[in-house]
Structure 1
Amino acid sequence: MNKAYDRISWPFLTAVLRTMGFSDKWVTWISQCVQTVSYSVLLNGSPTTKFKPNRGLRQGDPLSPYLFLMCANILSCALLKQENLHNLKGIKIGRSTQPLTHLLFADDSFLFLKNDTKSITAIQSTLAWYCSISGQSLNLDKSELYCSPNMSTHQKSILAQELGVKLVQHPSKYLGVNFKLRGNRIADFQDLIDKISSKLQGWKAKLLSQAGRLTLINSVLTSIPIYTFSVFKIPETVCKRLDSLINAFWWGHDPGRKKLHMTNWDTITKPKAQGGLGIKKFGPMNKALITKQYWRIKNNPNLLLSKTLKAKYCPNEELRSHKPNQKASWIWRNIMGQNNTNLCQAAWRVGRGYNIPISHPDWFKIKPNAPQSLQNQLTTVADLIDHRTATWKTHLIYQLYENQDVDQILSITLPVVENNAAPDKLVWPHSLNGEYQVRKAYEILTQQDTASRLHPSSNNQTTIWKLLWKTKLPHKILTFTWKLLHHALPTKAELNSRGMHCAMNCIMCNTAIETQEHLFLHCDLSRAVWFGADIPILHLTQAAVTVDSWVKDLLKQSNTLESTNPILQKTLTLLWCIWFHRNQILFAGKQPNPMEIILTFNSLLNRFLQNFANNAGTNAEVRNTAQAPTLSPDPSWQAIILTAGGKTHHRTRLGLAYMGKFRDGQVMFVGCKTINVQDINMARLLAIREAIIKAAELGLQSLIILTEGRDIGTNVGK
């Protein structure tokens, strides 16, 4: 469509809203939002007199995409009507799949038709009718015709002339993705490499600090291939090339000149809480995004995508057990062939259990020696539940399943009120709400979520890294500190240890080898600077403490304070100033000057703290003017309930506790117990449930519930 948003007829939009059942008041509101716009044009830099349009939707208005989709739905309905009247024949990608006549995305449209006169006439008449009532206009210059290779060149040319569009051998890109792949997978996705390379060439790496480069990487570069990664399995060669480009950019490579990487890529791509910089690897990110398509198809069987692909490739087979053959399309094989059991693993959220066959592949496997007569009597999970008491029939479960599966089944919480039970639903077991999460999938693929369990001693390190990134200092200082803690500063001793031979004497005092400890603690100039900044370090030099252990101790001490430790702020800033002055001496030919370092330190620290104070004041004003709605409980509330869930002395079990009080503060009930679950948020939710049951037994209906946990309130109803 030509200028699709700008040409929508307002009377047509109003008619569409009324046809879809919106009330007159609502239609009036929408019309006022759309029709009260006015425009002014800049002419030679000066705005002209404002004028009002008589059609169109505003670009950038959050309402506009939804209103446009409602209008485009009229075109969709008209095409479906032509199909139902057998005037238009679409294409089928499989014998049992439904024919496709069109796909719409915003103002872009794909139209599919057979090469026959009836279909051509139906398409042309439908488009002409839609344009006449909606105000839209076809943009034939930007429209293309792609034909099946089974058609002759003459047939293709005749069809293109009848439709008035351009005939192409290779369709253009759609949403930045190649519409047709050429077969050479690396060449197909060379555009991704070129796009990121062109971005990097436009940014002058040497003019940006590493903290600035990190921000650009995480906010811009890693988001460029997201859509392509969600559709295609990108070759590993391409992913590694993209990783290499990002890595080189962060270390500040100049064109044709590589720089030393002081830390390996695996460390950099760890989460910040685990000692990395939070940059994501493209390979695992691609797998996590592709697997989302698998879950989309699995959990949304009524989607056109799901119905079409399942009808073609596995019409009589469960998705989980399906193994695509070599004749299947490359995209389908990629969606189904990730071979990661963790990501594709599903679990049942049990409601009443009637919709969960015991033989379902996503339910627990019956042990080989289970009595066959018992198996014949049981068909669904509902047969394993005592619905009167809302408990599992443990005697049946022990007969049917292995011991490790028994524990997992018994840990599944059952709804107490059967009539209000949520429906049985397949969920993703790695998230609290059961929805597939790309972020969590990436963590599983890179084994980041298991790092603390595999290495319990790493919990202290995790705390240190979290405290570092929470420190109220500019990111360039925090990034410098990160490098210092990883021994990634290019001191002369470090460079020599990596095979880069150079004079090892300290450039500031020329009396000892330049190591981190000497440069920041033992150098005469540095000691004078610490003394001038009123930060005592004599005890550190006498005890032979390393710089990184000193900084870690300061970070641990700040964990006990309510606000950022001022000593920590001063120390990290002064460390950065010493390093900055050292580089000025080495690369700019400056003379060592401790007073200059102290003056720079005082100026920077005061400016940093003032900026943080100003931002805190601005944020406080924003919070005051845009506060979230305060809690307004029913004034007739009868009781207040306090709940909690947490660890017990059991290794594999958690505990819950709850208390109910009347309005006058009198305790009406208390309770606690251990439960066979490992998720602390689930324990908190179960505590709420137990307390509500107790309150209901006492006839209480209006309650105030106080609990802990940030995510609890958003998941209570799920």
Structure 2
Amino acid sequence: MAWEIKEECLKVVGEAWQNAGITNCQAKSLRTQLELCQKGLMTWRQTLKQQEDQIIKNGSQNIGHLQNSGTGEHVVAMKQIQEEVVSAITTNDINWKQRAKQHWLKHGDKNTQYFHMQASQRKKINAVKSIEDSQGRVVTDQSEIGEVFTCFFSSLFTTSQPLSIDQCLQEMDTKLDMDMKAWLLKPFTREEITATVFKMNPLGSPGPNGFPSQFSQKNWEVEGDQVCNFALDFLNHGRSLSEVNDTFITLIPKVQSPTRVVDYRPISLCNVLYKVVSKTMANRLKHILPQIIAPNQSAFVPGRLISDNTLVAYEKKFVPSRGLRQGDPLSPYLFILCAEALSSLLKHAEACGSLTPVTIGRGPVKVNHLFFADDSLLFCQAKYEEIKCVLNILELYEKGSGQVLNKDKSAIYFSKNTTLMSQQQIMHLAGVQSTSNLEKYLGLPTLVGRKKIASFHSLIDRTWSRVSNWRTKFFSAAGKEILLKAVLQAIPTYAMGMFLLPASITRKLNQILRRFWWGFNEDSSKIQWINWEQLSGRKDMGGLGFRDLRCLNIALLSKQGWRILQNPTSLVAQILKVGNGQQINIWHDRWIPSLPAQKIVTPRDADCWCDKVSDIIDPQLKIWQESLISELFSIQEIEGIKAIPISLGGREDKLTWQFTPNGNYTVKSGYYLGKELEREQIGESSSKTMDCQVWRSVWKLKVPPATRMFVWRACSEVLPTMANLKRRKVVKDSICLICKREHETSGHALWGCSGAQDVWCQELFGKLDSEELNEVAVTMRVIWARRNDVLHGKAFKHPREIIAQARTELSLHNEAMQKDVGANSKNMTRVHIWTKPAVGSLKVNWDAAVQTRMGRIGIGVIIRDHQGLVIGALRANRPLRGSVFDAEAYGLLLACVFCKEIGIRHLCLEGDSKQVQDSPNWSLGGCLISDAKEVLTSAAVWSISHVYREAKMVAHRLTQAAYECTEDMYDIEICPSCILQMVSKEKSH
């Protein structure tokens, strides 16, 4: 928040917290303390704002006077004034961004008119100027408008005393097992509360007390203990939430021009203290929902963003006696649990033959309903009996749940085979009108026939509407980049994940994105310096990472295909990970990662009986049958097979995606694969682009985003220099306007021109480090800005002033970044030495190293007790062409097997690969970790911890020695000579 960047803020909060005192009721104490904080912060902020406004006004005038002198003599004075002004503007900048609610723009430039415009526009939209009351009378007086809303919601949230609850629930199966019950009933902990607080959206819309969750996150040292105690009092002991359970109701328009109260959807803005409790319960509940909710319920959609809300202030309060509050983190889960009763009733009717389901495609899947939150599709035959059954079920559910079917928003879609008389009878019985077009379900066309262009043309309209309503002149190139990626490209993404859009639609969308990026007037576009194909390339290849929507469409659809894939050989990029080998065909499947074709190419002998990979594995020893594979395969194939670790736990074979480290398909990997295949088809070589390392260096610059974008434009030769303008026939002469001697290219304007050299000769000597490169980048942008000023008739700035301005900008940027990092990072103490385990436990350190050229890895394992004595040591090397992570995972597996073989049951494993601690995935390393944990099930107590290399240097030395071994070397209660000195030194610590 804007005021948090001031050091005085924490002092104000601390004083208010101490002055409030502590009562026996945690909730009352917190409420009182927050109220005092609010008053103290408001008083302090008003005083601070007056001071900042005066600094900005006076400072801007003084800077203007000093700049007009143009001699560079006042650089120091200007820098001091500028720092004061920027500090004041930064606070104002953050405040306007918060008011504008543009969460997509996380890393843009300093404050612009855009945020002022957005905040003002939101204020206009949020106003409700008239509403119809229950009698149909239009009310325009603000107090009467509030009364209409209050009466409606008081009635809406008053209980109807529902009956028939038991009848609704009688068809539901018992799905909670003992483990689930134990999970739900175990006591809540302080760690859960803390994790909930720090995972909440920092600047989400606050509740009645006005504090967003960021207030608690930033002041956790002050209020953390009390928040945890308050939450645990309720969660574990059932204390009341009444002190914090008050809520603002905010309204989202359901239609374009709302006129009635029912045209608004109420969203609750709860206090953060309540949301902490609710979200903690939701986090506990969501782990078991997949096991207890029927697949007919896809998910819960909480609605549009809070940033689209229309706020209404009420003069009266009311106490609800029923209802699920949209905006309460727990409500989505409660809603789908309630809807599970309706789902069970419909499935029971189908099982009894009362309802006829529809068949999905040609497969065996049949459904009679689909739920997505409160949007529902019910299917049955157009018969009186079945319609009556559906209505009876809905009536029973209404009586039991208190929810009521909105017949005004409901419709019946009849097939073409239904007679007109049957349609009229069914509509009369149901009290619902028919429709020939289901319009959209969940934002997508329900029926897509041959007129695909018409079905998806709304995507073009929505995208163009966004672009045409934005004032692009308020954005820098860096801001436009974020806007294009975060907002415009996201508009068609949902539809593209389900449908292959017509090529004409994606072409038009790409055209709109292109026009937005380069800018346009009402009748014409501005100069497009680079084609869209290059802009949509990767950033490390000279592009900007924009997405070609046609290729993205295919990548998104491929994600759906990956999920439902049943044929393992249908896609080129799939590789089978060997588990027990029972699912993999030796001769047809791709299962050997180290081979060029990733599969066996040696012809199969006619008398060969081996078919599955399991046929060439010794089932007892869990090793490859070397004598058999030497008869069947080539030398290269034999080496590739022997380099594959065999699962010790007997896990099943797994289909994985080749182009990601964890073996799972991602849209990003699919998109870049598609672009690479496109380039190969047209014969384009990636070597045409500048060295990837150069482009990576550009994007790694620690400078403001606008400066990085400027450097990219300079390197891509797309600055509007005189040479480029002449090439586009905008000007006739390309001579530099400053030196009047050479043609003005990007290199000349920023480096070769005498005006630029005046700056560089005072600044740069020798080879540049990363910090100096940052300064060069900012300086080039300031030089370009000076060039533009001269072009438009302003004074030529002195080189000293250019250098001072560049350094000031970079210094302010670095300070802002350091504050951001410091506010969000936690101090980590680096352990530099090995530490002894607790008495009764053994410490196992392992390490692994990769010899890429030889295709082998070395592994070292050392086991020591609480006195530092060596219990066992292992040196081994294996044929493996994989990543460092794969090698570390292999080392963990051998360490676990070693411990099991010598009977260790209490062990603490330590390695320097943090990735090994993460959840196992379907990469080779992930599979090895799964095997290691399977081996560890025989141990009574075990743990895996991350340490830095300094704390496991003995294992590292064993790894180096492992390359010299021709076979595995085991030492039991003997210390190998290569580590004797190191072990003695660590033992004495």
- Which TM-score applies when normalising by structure 1? 0.78
1:591 equivalenced with 2:794 (yes/no): yes
Match of 1:372 in 2: 606
Match of 1:37 in 2: 245
- 8 A contact 2:439–2:446 mirrored in 1: yes
CA offset digits 1:117-155 (Å, max 9, x no partner): 221111000011111111111011111211111223343
One-letter amino acid of the structure 2 residue matched with residue 610 of structure 1: L
- 8 A contact 1:681–1:712 mirrored in 2: no
Q: 1:240 aligns with which of 500, 504, 507?
A: 507
Query: 2: distance between equivalents of 1:665 and 1:464?
Result: 49
For the aligned residue pairs, the C-alpha RMSD in angstroms reads 4.1
Query: 2: distance between equivalents of 1:46 and 1:705?
Result: 57
- 8 A contact 1:645–1:681 mirrored in 2: no
- 8 A contact 2:587–2:604 mirrored in 1: no
Number of aligned residue pairs: give it. Answer: 638
Deviation at 1:427, TM superposition (A): 2.6
One-letter amino acid of the structure 2 residue matched with residue 37 of structure 1: N
1:573 equivalenced with 2:778 (yes/no): yes
Deviation at 1:284, TM superposition (A): 1.6
Query: 2: distance between equivalents of 1:350 and 1:185?
Result: 43
Deviation at 1:404, TM superposition (A): 6.1
- Structure 1 pair 371/253, CA: closer, same or farther in 2 (3 Å)? same
- Structure 1 pair 41/235, CA: closer, same or farther in 2 (3 Å)? closer
Query: 1: distance between equivalents of 2:731 and 2:583?
Result: 71
Match of 2:408 in 1: 141
Question: Which ranges of structure 2 fall in alignment gaps of 5 or more residues?
Answer: 1-151, 188-233, 251-309, 593-598, 921-925, 931-989
**Structure with more contact order per residue of length (Cα contacts < 8 Å, sep ≥ 6):** 2
Match of 2:763 in 1: 535
1:575 is paired with a residue whose SS is: helix
1:609 equivalenced with 2:814 (yes/no): no
Deviation at 1:81, TM superposition (A): 0.6
- Structure 1 pair 579/130, CA: closer, same or farther in 2 (3 Å)? same
Deviation at 1:422, TM superposition (A): 2.1
Query: 2: distance between equivalents of 1:191 and 1:294?
Result: 26
- 8 A contact 2:779–2:806 mirrored in 1: no
Matches within 5 A, 1:304-319: 318=567
1:144 is paired with a residue whose SS is: coil
- 8 A contact 2:642–2:879 mirrored in 1: no
Match of 1:426 in 2: 655
Query: 2: distance between equivalents of 1:226 and 1:129?
Result: 39
1:231 is paired with a residue whose SS is: coil
Matches within 5 A, 1:1-16: none
Query: 2: distance between equivalents of 1:661 and 1:26?
Result: 36
- Structure 1 pair 75/380, CA: closer, same or farther in 2 (3 Å)? same
- 8 A contact 1:526–1:594 mirrored in 2: no
- 8 A contact 1:101–1:112 mirrored in 2: yes
- Structure 1 pair 259/41, CA: closer, same or farther in 2 (3 Å)? closer
- Structure 1 pair 670/210, CA: closer, same or farther in 2 (3 Å)? same
- Structure 1 pair 398/66, CA: closer, same or farther in 2 (3 Å)? farther
Match of 2:849 in 1: 645
CA offset digits 1:244-277 (Å, max 9, x no partner): 2212211122232222222232322222233321
1:619 equivalenced with 2:886 (yes/no): no
Query: 1: distance between equivalents of 2:385 and 2:523?
Result: 60
One-letter amino acid of the structure 2 residue matched with residue 180 of structure 1: L
1:290 is paired with a residue whose SS is: helix
One-letter amino acid of the structure 1 residue matched with residue 823 of structure 2: E
Match of 2:383 in 1: 116
Query: 2: distance between equivalents of 1:170 and 1:621?
Result: 53
Question: Which ranges of structure 1 fall in alignment gaps of 5 or more residues?
Answer: 300-317, 322-340, 540-552, 559-564
CA offset digits 1:44-76 (Å, max 9, x no partner): 976646543222223233322222111111111
Q: 2:373 aligns with which of 106, 115, 140?
A: 106
Deviation at 1:183, TM superposition (A): 0.9
Deviation at 1:400, TM superposition (A): 4.6
- Structure 1 pair 48/407, CA: closer, same or farther in 2 (3 Å)? farther
Query: 2: distance between equivalents of 1:666 and 1:488?
Result: 67
Match of 2:747 in 1: 517
Matches within 5 A, 1:56-135: 56-93=323-360, 97-135=364-402
- 8 A contact 2:438–2:446 mirrored in 1: yes
One-letter amino acid of the structure 2 residue matched with residue 683 of structure 1: A
One-letter amino acid of the structure 1 residue matched with residue 794 of structure 2: Q
- Which TM-score applies when normalising by structure 2? 0.58
CA offset digits 1:537-572 (Å, max 9, x no partner): 7x8xxxxxxxxxxxxx74xx42xxxxxx1x222211
1:441 equivalenced with 2:676 (yes/no): no
Query: 2: distance between equivalents of 1:264 and 1:148?
Result: 48
Match of 1:287 in 2: 554
Match of 1:508 in 2: 738
Query: 1: distance between equivalents of 2:323 and 2:560?
Result: 35
- 8 A contact 2:579–2:650 mirrored in 1: yes
One-letter amino acid of the structure 1 residue matched with residue 763 of structure 2: I
Query: 2: distance between equivalents of 1:354 and 1:579?
Result: 66
CA offset digits 1:439-461 (Å, max 9, x no partner): 2112221229999xx99989993
Match of 1:656 in 2: 858
One-letter amino acid of the structure 1 residue matched with residue 607 of structure 2: S
Deviation at 1:113, TM superposition (A): 0.6
Q: 1:229 aligns with which of 477, 482, 496?
A: 496
Query: 2: distance between equivalents of 1:136 and 1:393?
Result: 65
1:394 equivalenced with 2:661 (yes/no): no
1:676 equivalenced with 2:676 (yes/no): no
Query: 2: distance between equivalents of 1:592 and 1:145?
Result: 72
Query: 1: distance between equivalents of 2:620 and 2:160?
Result: 60
- 8 A contact 2:578–2:654 mirrored in 1: yes
Query: 1: distance between equivalents of 2:549 and 2:739?
Result: 45
- Structure 1 pair 509/640, CA: closer, same or farther in 2 (3 Å)? same
* Aligned-residue identity in percent: 26
- Structure 1 pair 85/73, CA: closer, same or farther in 2 (3 Å)? same
Match of 2:423 in 1: 156
